[in-house]
Amino acid sequence: MLLRHTPKEIVERGALTINPAKTCQPVGAMYAALGIHRCLPHSHGSQGCCAYHRSALTRHYAEPIMSSTSSFTEGASVFGGQSNLLESINNIFTLYDPDIIAVNTTCLSEVIGDDLKQIINRAVVDHKIPPGKTVFYASTPSFKGSHVTGYSNMLSAMVQNFAGNTGRRHNAVTLLPSFIEPSDMQEIKHIAFELGLDYIMYPDTSGVVNAPMDGKFHMYPKGGTSKEDIARSGDSRLAIAMGRIGAFQAAQLLDSKCKVATEVLDLPIGISATDAFVDTLRRRAGVTIPESIRVERGQLVDVLCDKAQYVYGKKVSLMGDPDILLGLVQFAKDMGMEVLHVLTGTAAGAKWERRMREIAGEKAVIKTGPQADLFYFHQLLQNEKPDLLFGNTYCKYIARDMDIPLIRTGFPIYDRIGHSYFPVTGYRGGLHLLVKILDAFMDRQDRDAPEETFELVM
C-alpha cells in the first residue's frame, strides 16, 4: 500500500527524480578513504552532510564509522570554508592522530568554490600538518554523480597524491576494485593469494568496516592499504581496474602519471566474469591456476548443475550500482535467466550501456542516470513482472507491493546483515549468491505449493 500511487502508465520525464536509485558522492568518497590504513575521512561542508554520510555507512556496515566535518555555519557559507578546514586539520591531528586526512567536498563547498588545493597548501605553510602526516582531497560535488562517482574520485585522488614512478619497476600487479563490500575485497585478495600473485590492492576496507569485536574501541582498525603500498603502485608492471565506472578512471591516471600498463575488467561476479579475471591474471602476470581455485569453480558449477531447474528461464530485474550490475547480469545469463530490466541511478555512460546490452541481450530495458529512479523501476515491473528482484534495501517496498522475492545486493543494505562478511565476488561469492537465489525460489515454491505438490525433497 505504501506505493499505491505509482501508476502503471510510463510518462517520460526530463528533470524530475522520484526516489533516486543512488546516494551522494561523499558517501562513496568516505568509504574509499576508509580503505587506507590510519586514514580519517573528513567532510568539507555542513554537519548535516557529514551526519548523513556517516549514518549511511554506519547503518550499512553496522559499525561505528569514523569521520570528521568542517562544520560550516552561515559565516562559512558566505565567506568560504578556509578557516573551518584549517582549524579542523589542527584539531584532528591534535585529538585523533590519524596518519592521513582524506577530505571530500560537498555540494555547499563546491558551490561556494572553495579552493581545496590552496587551503591544504596554506595548512602546510602554517605548520598545521605534522611531519610524516598527509592531507589530500577529492572533489565530490553531489549535485552530479553518485556514491560510485565519489568513490572513483577518491580512488583517483589516492593515485594523484601517493603513487609515484621511481623508475624501478617491480613485479607486483596493482588491483583497483570498484565500490564493493569488504568481504568482496577479501575474496579478491584470497584469489590473488591462491594464485601466488605479488599484488597491491587499494582501497582495501576489509578489516576496517568488518573488523572483529574484541571488546576495545579502535579508532583505526588494523586493515586498510598503507600509503607506502599505494606509493609503490606507481612502479607496478600492470594495474587491473575491476569495474568500468568505479575504478577505470584511477587506472587511467596511474597509466598517464606513472606509465603503468592497465587493463579494465568487469567485477569478478559469477562464473564467466570470474573466469575472465582469473584468466587475465594467469596470462598477464604469468601465474598458474592452482588446484584450490579449480575446486572452488567446480563446486559452484556443481551446485548450479544440481539445481539449474530452479533458475533456468526465470525472469529477473535488477537495480543498483553499475559495476556490480554488469557482474550480476553476467551471472544471471550464466544461469540461463532472462533479464527484463537493468537500472542504475549512476549516469554510467554509453560505453557501459553498450557493454550491458552485449550481456543482457536485445530485449532488456536498460536505463541509467537521474531519471532511472525507483519510481520508474516500479512502473517497469508493473508492466512486466519478473520472478526475482536484485536491489538495495529501498527495493523492499516495491518487492512487498508486488510480492516478488528480493535478493539484497549493492548499497545501501540497512535491513539485513551478512554483506560485510559473505562475498558475491569470486567462485566462493558466486556460490553464496547462488544459494541465496535458490533459497528465494525454493521458499517461494514451498509457500505457494498446494498440499498435493508440497515436496520434501527439492
142 binds ligand SF4 (CB under 6 A): yes
Q: Least distance (Å) from ligand SF4 to the CB of residue 106?
A: 4
**Range 345-377 burial, b when 16+ CB lie within 10 A, else e:** bbbbeeebbebbeebbeeebbbbbbbbbbbbbb
65 binds ligand SF4 (CB under 6 A): no
Q: Which is nearer to ligand SF4, 33 or 278 (CB)?
A: 33
Determine which residue in the list 33, 49, 230, 265 makes contact with ligand SF4, applying CB under 6 A. 49
Q: Least distance (Å) from ligand SF4 to the CB of residue 107?
A: 3
Question: Which listed range, 45-53, 89-97, 371-379, 420-428, lies at the site for ligand SF4 (CB under 6 A)?
Answer: 45-53
Q: Which is nearer to ligand SF4, 104 or 174 (CB)?
A: 104
Q: Least distance (Å) from ligand SF4 to the CB of residue 138?
A: 13
DSSP 8-state assignment for residue 217: -
Contacts of 334 (CB under 8 A, 6+ apart): 270, 271, 272, 304
* 3-state SS string for 329-342: HHHHHHCCCEEEEE
Is the C-alpha dihedral spanning 385, 386, 387, 390 positive or negative? negative
30 binds ligand SF4 (CB under 6 A): no
DSSP string, 257-286: HH--EEEEE---BHHHHHHHHHHHHHHHH-
Q: Which is nearer to ligand SF4, 56 or 100 (CB)?
A: 56
Which of 103, 107, 173, 316 does the annotation list as catalytic? 107
CB 61 within 8 A of CB 35: no
Main-chain phi, psi angles of 389, to 5 degrees: -115, 145
24 binds ligand SF4 (CB under 6 A): yes
Instruction: Please state whether beta strands 68-69 and 39-44 pair in parallel, antiparallel, or not at all (unpaired).
Output: parallel
| Size of interface with ligand SF4, in residues (CB under 6 A) | 8
Q: Least distance (Å) from ligand SF4 to the CB of residue 49?
A: 3
Question: Which listed range, 44-52, 271-279, 315-323, 346-354, lies at the site for ligand SF4 (CB under 6 A)?
Answer: 44-52
Contacts of 275 (CB under 8 A, 6+ apart): 297
Determine which residue in the list 6, 106, 153, 368 makes contact with ligand SF4, applying CB under 6 A. 106
Determine which residue in the list 52, 133, 231, 382 makes contact with ligand SF4, applying CB under 6 A. 52
Q: Least distance (Å) from ligand SF4 to the CB of residue 139?
A: 12
Q: Which is nearer to ligand SF4, 142 or 317 (CB)?
A: 142
Is 173 a catalytic site residue? no
- Furthest C-alpha separation in the chain: 80
Q: Which is nearer to ligand SF4, 41 or 221 (CB)?
A: 41
Q: Which is nearer to ligand SF4, 27 or 380 (CB)?
A: 27
DSSP string, 336-373: TPEEEEEEESS--HHHHHHHHHHHH-TTSEEEESTT--
29 binds ligand SF4 (CB under 6 A): no
Is 365 a catalytic site residue? no
State the residue for C-alpha cell 601466488. 196
Q: Least distance (Å) from ligand SF4 to the CB of residue 146?
A: 10
Which of 111, 124, 295, 435 does the annotation list as catalytic? 111
Determine which residue in the list 21, 22, 26, 410 makes contact with ligand SF4, applying CB under 6 A. 26
Instruction: Determine the straight-line distance between the first and last CA of the chain, rounded to whole angstroms.
Output: 34
* Distance (Å, whole) CA 380 – CA 359: 20
Residues with catalytic annotation?
A: 107, 111
Binding footprint of ligand SF4 on the chain (CB under 6 A): 24, 26, 45, 49, 52, 106-107, 142
